[in-house]
A and B are shown apart, each in its own frame.
Chain A
Amino acid sequence: MDKRKIGTLAAVAVLALAACSGGSSGGGSKGEIEVWSSLPRQGSSKGQTDTIVNAINMALAEKNNTAGGYTIKYSDKDDSTAAAGKWDEATEIKNANDAVADDKLVAYIGTFNSGAAKLSIPILCGKGMVMVSPANTYPGLTKAGKGEADEPDKYYPNGCTRNYFRVVAADDLQGLAGAKWAAKLGAKNVYVLDDTELYGKGIADVFNKEAPGQGLTVLGRDGIDGKATDYKALAEKIKATNPDLVYFGGITQNNAGQLWRDLRDAMPNVKLMGPDGILEDAWIQAAGEAAEGTYITFGGLPADKLTGKGADFLKNYNAKYPNNPPQAYTAYGYEAAGTVIAAIEKAAATNPADMSALRAAVLKAVSETKDYEGALGKWSFNQEGDTSLTAMSGNIVKDGKFAFDSVVE
């Protein structure tokens, strides 16, 4: 055959292939959409975020990676840097900007740290992109009057519709639970510390505010430098005030392990309490022996205390990922993904005309999540984006492991 005929045949072949492959790959016939997560994938949180990503993958696999006729492509984004070993401002902002630029993206599961959410929410709000967090607990992100004076409106600028939701109860409840538990443990005098970041300072402030109402006297309030090499002199200062209990609001990655060791060295008998920022295996490893006997609150229930669908989730998760046992927030990652998938199905039913309409429909569907039956129980989102679940748990470190102690009302 001469060259022109080969060329024509090739062109026809290519066109035929293009016509055939446009649209369906796998189960979804309406095309591909994307869901991203933005979590700290480096540093010591990696252990826990590995389990969260596994849970998200599991939630998607249970629906064959399709919802409402769309094929869902999941992207696991990292908002941390190796050098920082934890979430990084510039990286999170980049993730949010990339999300806004990606036309196929319909939902953003993130972030893990409240400080990072503060940066992404306004960026995503501008595009009307829904954001569901498995782990942010700083109250000011959704509730008025619980944080700074201009929160939460400053996260939803220019009158954009509220796009942020979280499946975990906020710190205004967890801080109060901490104060109640401290009083129940018999403490009268407490010293409050924080790691000067949004989450840590936030929950320490709540504890500080609620303490007098629970009959506790706050002896002092200090912020630690997460980059300092040791806290021995600070521990001496705290010892001089003779507290019954020391409360630290903060995350493992701000040198909480060293702090615990220095506090224990100086005061072998004082009670130590912290929030869910230190409820991870990495913290026990960092604190070593000093972790023993620490009281840790959590804005939810530990994985092995979940019932019904939650127990099923645990069984399936352990079967699928035997080498990555679930940590505090694994089930919450699963629930966040489940919420998003359910919303996509509801949105698809309204037959949106284009991606922009789909995003708006998904956002509306998430905000209307009511009586959702998932691994965490039956719950709804309220107008502010918070979950209706409020059960808090108290955990104690026993023999180098977290042990559930009680439900704290």
Chain B
Amino acid sequence: MEELVKALTIGVTNGLIIALIAIGYTLVYGILELINFAHADVFMLGTAFTYFATELIVHGIGIPASSTLALVVTLLALPIIMLMTATINASIERLAYRPLRNAPRLAPLISAIGMSFVLQNIGLLLLGPSQKAVEPVLPRTDLVFFPSGAAWFGVDEMIVVGVTVPLLLALRWFVASTRQGKAMRATAQDREASGLMGIDVNRTISLTFLIAGGLAGAAGLVVALYYGQKFFQYGLQFGLLSFTAAVMGGIGNLTGATLGGLFVGIVAAMSDRFIEAKWTSVIVFSLLILVLIFRPTGLLAEQQSERA
């Protein structure tokens, strides 16, 4: 029983990170009907910035890596990193997608793929070709234990939850309760009609990309600290899982993306733990195919109404 709960905890922690990235895909798809392939690479840049931040804190300023001060300062860097990735994402929209706003659907898609390669290679230049450990700023001390004495979760898992869950909730509140959120929902529903209603469509789209980029940056910080590694191909590895999660949950649907992320995380952890790590990819993607066969728009997506 304890083993099940422990595996579930790992799954939920990983799943929250995947969900945070998946939301970025779903936000952009909802508003532009474009799969932003470069999104996961913006996330990778988030891990890169976190890596540089920890290097600065530990080697530049000289705060010892395992002290609470180092952790606090790194977390204070979170808004800065989120702002940087948000700006990058919005700039990508301006440069690569806006000029193709009225082009056939394939053009921005190819542009997105191209942008993904550009960002990956920027990552390669910044980070070098190999995986490398990030300074261990995140303490691994276990806090909560099972009755048998085995460790359940600790400070690191709590920080992951402490960063991702408030962000997800804040996003939900923003989209549901603010004027800009309403504008985003309206633009996602019908871009032309929203323009006719007086919504500044370009600004709304830019805002969406800013938010998606910021969330990717936050996910980047969490991954760099929790997994403790930097790698220029992180975008590829995480992007695949997050995109799968977004599609499974219903692309365009925020709750779907969150649930999809949790689902993918939990299934992967369960498969690693109780079946065999070799089969995890097979299982996750087979489930994706099954979901798409029986519910092509995803688990939570509303059925698309016929356009007149």
Chain A residues with a Cβ under 8 A of chain B: 42-44, 46, 82-83, 85, 196, 222-225, 227-234, 236-237, 240, 252-253, 255, 257-258, 261, 265, 282, 285-290
CB pair B136 A289 closer than 8 Å? yes
Does the CB pair B280–A225 fall under 8 Å? Answer: yes
Shortest Cβ distance from residue A337 to the other chain B in the assembled complex, whole angstroms: 25
Select which of A230, A236, A257 is within 8 A of B131 by beta carbon: A257
**Which residues from chain A contact B273 at a C-beta distance below 8 Å?**
233-234, 236-237
Task: Provide the bound-state CA to CA distance between A229 and B223, in Å.
Answer: 10
Q: Is B241 an interface residue (CB 8 A)?
A: yes
Cβ B274 vs Cβ A229 within 8 A: no
> Across the interface, do A233 and B3 meet the contact criterion of CB distance under 8 Å?
no
CB of B272 closer than 8 Å to a CB of A: yes
B133 CB-CB contact with A under 8 Å? yes
B229: contacting residue among A85, A236, A258, A289, CB under 8 A: A258
From known contacts A222-B277, A234-B273, A258-B229, infer whether A265 and B140 are also in contact, taking CB-CB under 8 Å.
Answer: yes
Chain B's closest residue to A257 (CB) is B131
Q: Could you tell me the distance between the alpha carbons of A363 and B98 in the complex, rounded to whole angstroms?
A: 62
A286/B281 in contact, CB under 8 A: no
**B233 contacts chain A at the CB level, 8 A cutoff:** yes
Closest chain B CB from A264 CB (angstroms): 9
Nearest A residue to B120, CB-CB: A83
Given A225-B277, A228-B277, A261-B228: A233 in contact with B132 (beta carbons within 8 A): no
Query: Which 10 residue pairs across A and B have the least CB separation, nearest first?
Result: A288-B133, A44-B130, A233-B272, A233-B269, A233-B273, A286-B131, A43-B129, A234-B272, A232-B10, A223-B278
**Least CB distance, A242 to chain B, in whole angstroms:** 11
| Residue of A43, A230, A285, A290 touching B132 (CB-CB under 8 A) | A285
> What's the nearest-Cβ distance from chain B to residue A339, in Å?
30
Known: A44-B131, A82-B124, A222-B276. A258 touches B227 (CB 8 A): yes
> From DSSP, what is the main secondary structure of chain B's interface residues?
helix
Which residues of B lie under 8 Å from residue A232 when comparing CB positions? 10, 14, 269, 272
Q: Are A236 and B3 in contact (CB under 8 A)?
A: yes
Binding site for A on B (CB under 8 A): 3, 6-7, 10-11, 14, 120-121, 124, 129-134, 136, 140, 223, 227-229, 233-234, 236-238, 241, 268-274, 276-278, 280-281
Asked if B129 and A44 sit within 8 Å, CB to CB, the answer is yes
Q: Considering the chains assembled together, what is the distance between the CA atoms of A240 and B150 in angstroms?
A: 11
Cβ 8 A contact of A229, one of B121, B140, B238: B238
Contacts of A83 on B, CB cut-off 8 Å? 120, 233
| Contacts A85-B233, A236-B3, A236-B7; A288 near B129 (Cβ below 8 A) | no
Instruction: Tell me whether A46 and B272 are in contact (CB under 8 A).
Output: no
Contact residues in A for B140 (Cβ distance below 8 Å): 265
Contacts A236-B7, A286-B229: A229 and B133 contacting too (C-beta < 8 A)? no
User: A236 to chain B: closest CB distance in Å?
Assistant: 6
Name B273's closest neighbour in chain A (CB-CB). A233
Instruction: Give 15 pairs: A residue, B residue, CB < 8 Å, sorted on A.
Output: A44-B129, A44-B131, A82-B129, A222-B278, A223-B276, A224-B277, A229-B14, A229-B241, A232-B14, A233-B11, A234-B273, A252-B130, A257-B229, A286-B130, A288-B133
Which of B3, B10, B129, B241 is packed against the most chain A CB atoms within 10 Å?
B129
Q: Which residues does chain A contribute within 8 Å of B6, judged by CB atoms?
A: 236
Query: Does the CB pair B272–A237 fall under 8 Å?
Result: yes
Query: CB distance A223 to B277 under 8 Å?
Result: yes
Q: Can you name the residue of chain B whose Cβ is closest to the Cβ of A266? A: B151
Which residues of chain A are within 8 angstroms of B272 by Cβ–Cβ distance? 231-234, 237
Contact indicator B10/A255 (Cβ below 8 Å): no
Whether B277 lies near A234 (C-beta < 8 A) is: yes
